[in-house]
Amino acid sequence: MVELKKTRVGFGHGLVDAGRKSEKVVVLVGDLRDSTNVNFFAEEFPQRFIEVGIAEQNMANVAAGLSLVGKIPFFTTYGAFATCRCLDMLRVTICYSNLNVKIGGAHGGISVGPDGATHQALEEISILRSLPNMKVIVPCDYYETRKATLASIDIKGPVYIRFGRENVPVVTGEKTPFEFGKGALYRDGGDVAILACGVMLYEALAAADELQRDGIDARIINIHTVKPIDEDIIIKAASECGAIVTAEEHQVYGGFGSAVAEVIVKNSPVPMEFVGIQDSFGRSGQPEELMQTYHLKAVDIIKAAMKVLGRK
Amino acid sequence: MNPFNFDIEQLNQKALDIRRDIITLLVESQSGHSGGPLSCADMAAALYFNILNHNPGNPDDPVRDLNFFSIGHVSPLIYSVLAEAGYFPLRDLLTFRKLNSHLEGHPNCLHTPGIEVSAGSLGQGLSIACGAAYGIKMDGSERSVFCFMGDGEQQEGSIWEAVMFAAHYRLDNLCALIDYNHRQIDGETEKVMNIAPLAEKYWSFGWNVYEIDGHNMGEILGALKACSEFTGKPSVIIGHTVMGKGVSFMEGLAEWHGKPPAPDQGEKALAELGTTFREWSERLRNG
Ligand SMILES: Cc1ncc(C[n+]2csc(CCOP(=O)(O)OP(=O)(O)O)c2C)c(N)n1
């Protein structure tokens, strides 16, 4: 049985790790203390925890101000609000001034479930990728989220960390290295390369097992850092495999797949397929049902792989 | 300590020089805002030349007070004040808004010394000031935080989120200044979207409020000093001002919010301010 853990708990524990490592770490939240799991930090470091109330725009810029006096602030809310409600603050104050503000984007993806479309953030990558100085990490599981959160305090400037609500399979381990900005090879293969971020890494690995049975060797790459993206590992995959599938729990327009495509068309054009949300809002349902309904499962990755192989 | 510590007479003279700088740089650039910079000049002169603990020789001095201009569009005023204080040469003012100048249309803190944060989208500065004030209190430090805002800008909802935050956390190291010139782009603030009664609003949100004549140096200094002594609440100074103050044909006219004087208008304005374009641009070029 595969172990299940929440990435948001990984974020919460990562904040505690960060708080222990640096006195400068401060955490802000907008009335979502428990559901974003900043509660662990709040309990251990009450003096460095700031409740801002339901005022996300203010929270983003209070974080900006804290960074200007030497703090390392994390502001936290659901990703839909952290990006869309605070976009002007992110653009003009935080990114244009290149401030050392970290953003915890909770409830990323459709797997948020029954709360429905308003709370399922599906556009953060597209939005944030277009902001100069912004860095975006989409970790795949509990451990990676925890490590990314800790690592972000040593990355200068704004960093966004995207994580989800539900229990998801653990793919990495406590000792797996996390290197910001670097993709990681999870399985070698030369027929098709499947590049995944976030929880889609698990689905990609499951797809690779299936494909193997049909004699297809899929290369699986985990790209947790969506911006800046690891161009080398993508170019190598394109030139060695000759076909690419991307998988993300996010809109395909402007998202992770688009980021990969930008690298490929400039360097080593090969056929590509995009697994992700196909330009629609989400809806209520159980997480697993939604992942199936919106074609975000291993079987969908397999279909995309077969399709791209036919175009090779 | 303020490095200048000017008296009222010197501050009035500095405010006059700042107005001359503003007109001269706008005539040169033929682009930028006239009205707000002229109405803020007296309060800004008082802050930078008597109150603010800052160090133009070391803009990142870790013990300095912080002032945030939430109104990035008053950049002609901001740059003049910073150049007059010695953050960069006066001659840079003549490069305002030109390609490769560090003096962008709206201030960029990565380019210009003395700018604490980039600005240009209204309604953001007070939240930033709140964050800085909170962080300073966490450190048990004595630094003060100031924030310049416009009256039209008060229509932004995010400001009231910050107003609540500052009162909730008793940020008495924070002092906001509002340039209440009763004008904004589309006309009179009262007609575009009334913000009155402003003092009562701040008061009811839990702030310590001063209402003054924003062109009277004695009143400005008095209010700023009172703010720094007040404890338990954040303070706001509502300075009643006149858009375009100092240039008769601009005074009180919203149409001067966002345009520069044409060269002949600039000459007229500078004559009223007791100089000429030639004389003042020469001073800037040599400074
Ligand atoms: C968020 C945002 N909306 C609109 C503008 C465009 N804008 C620039 S200045 C201004 C009017 C500001 O009025 P006020 O605060 O009274 O300043 P003043 O006219 O006195 O200079 C507007 C609407 C902006 N810069 N930012």
* Domain of B60, in residue numbers: 8-285
Q: Taking the CB of residue B279, how many other CB atoms lie within 10 A of it?
A: 12
CB-CB contact of B148 with B177 (8 Å): yes
| Mean pLDDT, residues A16-41 taken together | 98
Q: With beta carbons under 8 A apart, name residues in chain B contacting A53.
A: 161, 164-165, 168
Q: Name the band, by pLDDT with cuts 50, 70 and 90, for residue A252.
A: very high
Q: How far is CA A142 from the centre of its chain?
A: 12
> pLDDT (tens digit, 9 = 90+) per residue, B76-116?
999 999 999 999 999 999 999 999 999 999 999 999 999 99
Q: How much of chain A, in percent, has pLDDT values that exceed 90?
A: 99
For residue B1, tell me if it sits in a domain: no
Tell me, yes or no, if A53 comes closer than 8 A to chain B by beta carbon: yes
Residue B264 burial by Cβ neighbours in a 10 Å radius (0-12, 13-18, 19+): exposed
Q: Which residues of B touch A96 (CB under 8 A)?
A: 108, 118
The verdict on residue B101 lying in a domain is yes
List beta partners, residue B49: none
Strand pairing class (B187-188; B183-184): antiparallel
Atom of ligand 1 nearest to the CA of B189: 16
pLDDT at B22: 98
Reported ipTM: the value is: 0.95
Query: pLDDT by residue (tens digit) across B51-84?
Result: 999 999 999 999 999 999 999 999 999 999 999 9
B3 within a domain of the structure (yes/no): no
| Residue A47 touches partner B, C-beta closer than 8 Å | yes
CB atoms within 10 A of CB B196: 13
Would you say B158 and B121 are in contact if contact means Cβ atoms under 8 Å apart?
no
CA dist B143 and B53 (Å) reads 8
Q: φ, ψ for residue B30 (rounded to 5)?
A: 55, 35
- Specify if B274 maps to a domain: yes
> pLDDT value at position A247?
98
Q: How many C-beta atoms surround the C-beta of residue B151 within 10 A?
A: 26
> What's the token pair of residue A252?
């395909």
Task: Delimit the CATH 3.40.50.970 region(s) of chain A.
Answer: 4-169
pLDDT of residue A197: 98
- Tokens (6 digits) for A113: 């479930």
Rounded to the nearest angstrom, the minimum Cα separation between A273 and chain B is 39
The DSSP secondary structure of chain A, one letter per residue, reads ---EEEHHHHHHHHHHHHHHH-TTEEEEESS-TTTTTTHHHHHH-GGGEEE--S-HHHHHHHHHHHHHTT-EEEEEEEHHIIIIITHHIIIIIIITTT---EEEEESBSGGG-TT-GGG-B--HHHHHHTSTT-EEE---SHHHHHHHHHHHTTS-S-EEEE--SSEEE--S-TT----TT--EEEE--SSEEEEE-TTHHHHHHHHHHHHHHTT--EEEEE--EEES--HHHHHHHHHHHS-EEEEEEEESTTSHHHHHHHHHHHH----EEEEEE-S----SS-HHHHHHHTT-SHHHHHHHHHHHHHT-
- A136, A151, A142: which is closest to A103 by C-alpha? A136
CA B99 → CA A67, A304, B31, B105, B261, distances in Å? 30, 48, 13, 10, 21
Count of domains observed in chain B? 1
pLDDT digits (tens, 9 = 90+) for A48-82: 999 999 999 999 999 999 999 999 999 999 999 99
Does B152 sit in the ligand 1 pocket, CB within 6 Å?
yes
B62 inside domain: yes
The chain-wide mean pLDDT, for chain B, equals 98
- Residues β-bridged to residue B175: B146, B235
Mean pLDDT of A31-43: 97
What's the confidence (pLDDT) of residue A210?
A: 97
Residue B158 is part of a domain; what is its CATH number?
Answer: 3.40.50.970
Looking at the DSSP bridge assignments, the partners of residue A268 are none
CA A178, A102, A141, A301 dihedral sign is negative
Ligand 1 centre distance from Cα of residue B241 (Å): 16
User: Under CATH, what is the fold of the domain A184-309?
Assistant: Rossmann fold (3.40.50)
3-class SS of residue B3? coil
Rounded to the nearest whole angstrom, what is the distance from the C-alpha of residue A38 to the centroid of ligand 1?
A: 36
pLDDT value at A1 more than 90? no
Q: Which of A3, A23, A43, A56 is catalytic?
A: A56
Indicate whether B68 belongs to any domain.
Answer: yes
In which residue are the tokens 């860095």 written?
A135
Each residue of A138-197: pLDDT tens digit?
Answer: 999 999 999 999 999 999 999 999 999 999 999 999 999 999 999 999 999 999 999 999
Residue B228 DSSP SS3: helix
| Calpha distance B176→A119 (Å, rounded) | 36
Q: How confident is the model at residue A274 (pLDDT cuts 50, 70, 90)?
A: very high
Residue B127: what pLDDT? 98
- Please give the structure tokens belonging to residue A216: 């297809």
- Tell me B50's DSSP state: I
Adjacent-strand bridge partners of B66: B145
Q: Which residues of B touch A68 (CB under 8 A)?
A: 66, 116-117, 128, 131-132, 135
Does A4-169 carry CATH code 3.40.50.970?
A: yes
Interface contacts (A, B; CB < 8 Å): 104
Task: Report the distance separating Cα A149 and Cα B154, nearest Å.
Answer: 36
- State residue A14's pLDDT score: 98
Domain with CATH 3.40.50.920 in chain A: 184-309
Whether A56 is a known active-site residue: answer yes
Nearest residue to B131 via CA among A246, A122, A55, A118: A55
Read off the pLDDT of each residue in B10-17 and give the average, rounded to a whole number. 98
Q: How far is the CA of B28 from the centre of ligand 1 (A)?
A: 23
Q: Specify the ligand 1 atom closest to the Cα of B156.
A: 1
- B142 within some domain: yes
Q: Which atom of ligand 1 is nearest to the CA of B149?
A: 15
Question: Around Cβ A239, how many Cβ atoms within 10 Å?
Answer: 13
